[in-house]
Amino acid sequence: MKRVVITGLGAITPLGNSVSEFWHNIVAGKSGADYITHFDASRFKTHFACEVKGFEPTDYIEKKEIKKYDLFTQYAIAASDQAIQDAGFDFTTMPDEEKYQIGVIWASGNGGIGTFEDQVREYYQGDGTPRFNPYFIPKMIADIAAGVISIRHKLYGPNYCTVSACASSNTAIINAFDTIRLGKATVMIAGGSEAPITPASVGGFNAAQALSKRNDSPQTASRPFDQDRDGFVIGEGAGALVLEEYEHAKARGATIYAEIVGGGMAADAYHLTGTSPEGLGAALGISKALQDAGLSPADINNINTHATSTGIGDVSELVGIKRIFGEHKVSISATKSMTGHLLGAAGAIESIISVLSVKHDIIPPTINTENVDPELPEGLDIVIGKARHTPVNYVLNNTFGFGGHTATSIFKKYHS
């Protein structure tokens, strides 16, 4: 099968609205958490989140067009534009025939939840004839970001949305990888976006006892693997990657960040929202990704864990990792300690971190973990507090979603 490389990156995140700013803050171990500004959260149990800061949609979208797009689509447009430019493509000068082989797979777990809430609120507060916004449906549906990216750049290749909760964008990247290596496209824009910091989303996760309520210290609230963790910190934003067939990238002189070499997907088949205490789904996804890449556990230098800072979830993932890795000590990072949990976009921004980790030989830190949970498996090498500068050849990226979805991707240092 064909080799697939990463030639472009784009990011709109709680730690910066460019890849360079985002990566700098990740390496520095900075938290993106702060008090919610999108709405008045004072009546909720949780008052904070990892919001995108200083985002200007007019930097990417004409002012008159912005009203057509929910915030999750605006983030998608911005991140994908960055990635396309970073990859060195000018689609306006490219013949249509070439763009028949360029597609978009874009993920979102919630789609336009903000639009949905606003429109329904207006309906119930109004009287007389119901007046729905004509853009309501296309602003709300989860697949629209993939469609908008395609329309915006006249890309005629495979185009769809993956929805597997918090595994959604890692699933999109794996699907894009498969599409290219099977010869069904030469270039794919893949990633995900989410804008879930809304009353219904925060209220719903509060009701499920999923969010941290550490309102006195938002920046230390996301603390994966810590015995005092009390839930995840919800985040928003987007991550985009340009995946490209190797010979195609080489022929046009593209800059190559890394190679994607494996993808594995499985299911916990256990619970609506909880993960299997035995870590079965995690272990299966990891095992399939390793087999797909033709690697052994000893080849992996770093695992960017899903690690959301929830009690059962953190433990079960590490149990699953231990089932596969045994006594082999692999470094473990939990970058949600900095970014919060971007739900359907989490896998995309964590893939960007993984790509840059193998590019720059830096393993990112896990912050806020002060007292490691004694319930965790023994013999784990969790990178706590500071980034580690060391050779990195392979990074494995885990994502899991409500419903038991698991998706694992593997990135390799690029060698021609």
Higher pLDDT, 74 or 416: 74
**SS3 of residue 230 by DSSP:** coil
pTM, rounded to two decimals: 0.97
Instruction: Give the 3-state secondary structure of residue 258.
Output: strand
Least confident of 66-80, 247-261, 266-280, 292-306: 266-280
Buried b (16+ CB within 10 A) or exposed e, 354-370: bbbbbbeebbbbbbbbe
Structure token digits, residue 30 = 């900075």
Residue 26, judged by CB atoms within 10 A of its CB (0-12, 13-18, 19+), counts as: buried
What percent of the chain is predicted at pLDDT more than 90?
Answer: 93
pLDDT of amino acid 127: 75
Provide the pLDDT for residue 258. 98
pLDDT for residue 1 is more than 90: no
What dihedral do alpha carbons 60, 65, 69, 73 form, nearest 10°? -20
**Residue length, the chain?**
416
Residues 38-61: tens digit of each pLDDT: 999 999 999 999 999 999 999 999
Which of 120-134, 223-237, 248-262 has the least mean pLDDT? 120-134
Per the model's pLDDT, the better-predicted residue between 40 and 378 turns out to be 40
> What is the rounded average pLDDT of the residues 129-137?
88
Query: What is the residue whose two structure tokens read 């990891």?
Result: 286
- Provide φ and ψ at 415, rounded to 5°: -130, 130
Read off the DSSP letter of residue 364.
Answer: P
pLDDT at 211: 98
- The Cβ of residue 312 has, within 10 Å, a number of other Cβ atoms equal to 14
At 365, the amino acid letter reads P
Residue 116: predicted pLDDT: 96
Distance CA 1, CA 385 (A): 40
Q: Where are the domains of the chain?
A: 4-251, 263-413
CATH of 4-251, one of 3.40.50.920, 3.30.420.40, 3.40.47.10, 3.20.19.10: 3.40.47.10
| Half-sphere exposure at residue 304, Cβ-oriented, CA atoms within 13 angstroms | 35
- The amino acid occupying position 46 is T
The DSSP bridge partners found for residue 260 are 4, 411
In the structure encoding, which two tokens stand for residue 368, read together?
């806020």
The whole-angstrom separation of Cα 358 and Cα 298 is 16
Query: For 209-248, how does the pLDDT look when each residue is reduced to its tens digit (9 = 90+)?
Result: 999 999 999 999 999 999 999 999 999 999 999 999 999 9
Residues 180/243, Cβ–Cβ less than 8 Å: yes
The pair of structure tokens assigned to 194 is: 């989410």
4-251 and 263-413, same CATH topology: yes
pLDDT tier, 416 (very low <50, low <70, confident <90, very high otherwise): confident
> Hey, which residues are catalytic here?
166
pLDDT reported for residue 240:
99
Amino acid at 315: V
Q: How many helices (H) and strands (E) does the chain have?
A: 13, 15
What CATH code would you report for 263-413?
3.40.47.10
The side-by-side arrangement of strands in the sheet containing 102-107 is 159-162, 102-107, 187-194, 237-245, 4-12, 258-267, 405-413, 394-401, 302-304, 331-333, 381-382
